């Protein structure tokens, strides 16, 4: 199995309410799942291939809860990546060279037998995890924006975090409100002022790297 590590950040938007059921071993808010994700790789490698400074993204849809499978997925790879880097990132995000259930990428790929063609595209990414604000673009395919959850009466910013000591994606995530507009092949309707998740990622083929 090829050794790999990823250190970076993620911006996630799904169609659930602010407390996404997946984070609590519960069912999705609306009975089905649609999600868009953008990843920034600050430092990483796949074997001898360096992945520093690159971006990836993905879209997913399931007609029911994720764990029931039958999903459809599509990956997007930074157009600045070399062929070797693109192949490495695709393998990681398809759960290859990864212990069973060790990362969210392994789970999502295992639950998504329907895979659309991977697209190379320019990816923009601007995220402030602490402030819960961000914007990401993947070519002209989709755009994601994020802001803090606001008190419905006063409009004041509300801050909430999720702490998963045994999670396969992150240890602590800031939660906000995110929206996605898409013209891609996967239906992302319903991602409007819905669940936003912003976290640091420290992952390997064996799971979350505790030392990081």
CB contact set of 58 (below 8 Å; sequence gap of 6+): 36, 37, 73, 74, 75, 76, 93, 108
Q: What is the mean pLDDT of residues 152-165?
A: 97
pLDDT tens readout for residues 45-93: 999 999 999 999 999 999 999 999 999 999 999 999 999 999 999 999 9
Domain boundaries, the chain: 4-208
What integer best gives the mean pLDDT of the chain?
Answer: 97
Tell me what pLDDT residue 210 has.
85
- 37 has pLDDT over 70: yes
Higher pLDDT, 212 or 166: 166
- CATH, domain range 4-208: 2.40.400
Q: What 8-state DSSP symbol labels residue 68?
A: G
CB contact set of 48 (below 8 Å; sequence gap of 6+): none
Query: What sign for the dihedral angle of Cα 9, 191, 172, 96?
Result: negative
Instruction: Check: CB of residue 119 under 8 Å from CB of residue 76.
Output: yes
Tell me what pLDDT residue 40 has.
98
pLDDT tens readout for residues 2-13: 999 999 999 999
Taking residue 25's Cβ as centre, other Cβ atoms within 10 Å add up to 7
Q: What is the mean pLDDT of residues 133-152?
A: 97
Distance, C-alpha 140 to centroid of its chain: 18
Q: How confident is the model at residue 144 (pLDDT cuts 50, 70, 90)?
A: very high
Q: What is the mean pLDDT of residues 177-181?
A: 98
Which has the closest alpha carbon to 39: 203, 210, 211, 208?
203
Tell me what pLDDT residue 76 has.
98
Instruction: Check: CB of residue 52 under 8 Å from CB of residue 42.
Output: yes
- 212 has pLDDT over 60: no
Question: Rounded to whole angstroms, how far apart are CA atoms 158 and 152?
Answer: 10
Tell me what pLDDT residue 14 has.
98
Instruction: Check: CB of residue 71 under 8 Å from CB of residue 114.
Output: yes
Q: What is the mean pLDDT of residues 140-160?
A: 97
Question: Rounded to whole angstroms, how far apart are CA atoms 128 and 112?
Answer: 30
Tell me what pLDDT residue 109 has.
98
Q: Which two tokens stand for residue 75?
A: 């990956």
CB contact set of 201 (below 8 Å; sequence gap of 6+): 6, 7, 8, 9, 10, 39, 169, 170
Give the percent of the chain with pLDDT over 90. Answer: 97
Q: What is the mean pLDDT of residues 170-184?
A: 97
Tell me what pLDDT residue 211 has.
64
pLDDT tens readout for residues 80-128: 999 999 999 999 999 999 999 999 999 999 999 999 999 999 999 999 9
């Amino acid at each position: 199995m090829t050794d790999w590590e990823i250190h970076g950040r993620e911006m996630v938007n799904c169609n659930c309410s602010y407390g996404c059921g997946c984070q609590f071993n519960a069912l999705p808010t609306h009975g089905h799942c649609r999600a868009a994700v953008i990843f920034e790789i600050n430092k990483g490698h796949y074997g001898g291939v360096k992945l520093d400074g690159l971006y990836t993204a993905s879209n997913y849809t399931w007609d029911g809860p994720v764990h029931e499978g039958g999903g459809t997925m599509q990956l997007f790879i930074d157009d600045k990546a070399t062929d070797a880097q693109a192949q490495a990132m695709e393998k990681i995000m398809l759960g290859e060279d990864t212990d069973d259930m060790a990362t969210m990428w392994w789970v999502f790929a295992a639950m998504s037998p329907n895979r659309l063609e991977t697209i190379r595209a320019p990816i923009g990414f601007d995220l402030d995890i602490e402030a819960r604000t961000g914007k990401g673009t993947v070519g002209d395919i989709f755009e994601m924006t994020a802001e803090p959850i606001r008190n419905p009466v006063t409009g004041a910013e509300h801050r909430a975090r999720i702490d998963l000591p045994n999670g396969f994606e992150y240890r602590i995530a800031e939660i906000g409100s995110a929206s996605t507009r898409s013209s891609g092949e996967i239906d992302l309707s319903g991602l409007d002022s819905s669940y936003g998740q912003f976290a640091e990622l420290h992952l390997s083929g064996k799971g979350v790297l505790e030392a990081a």
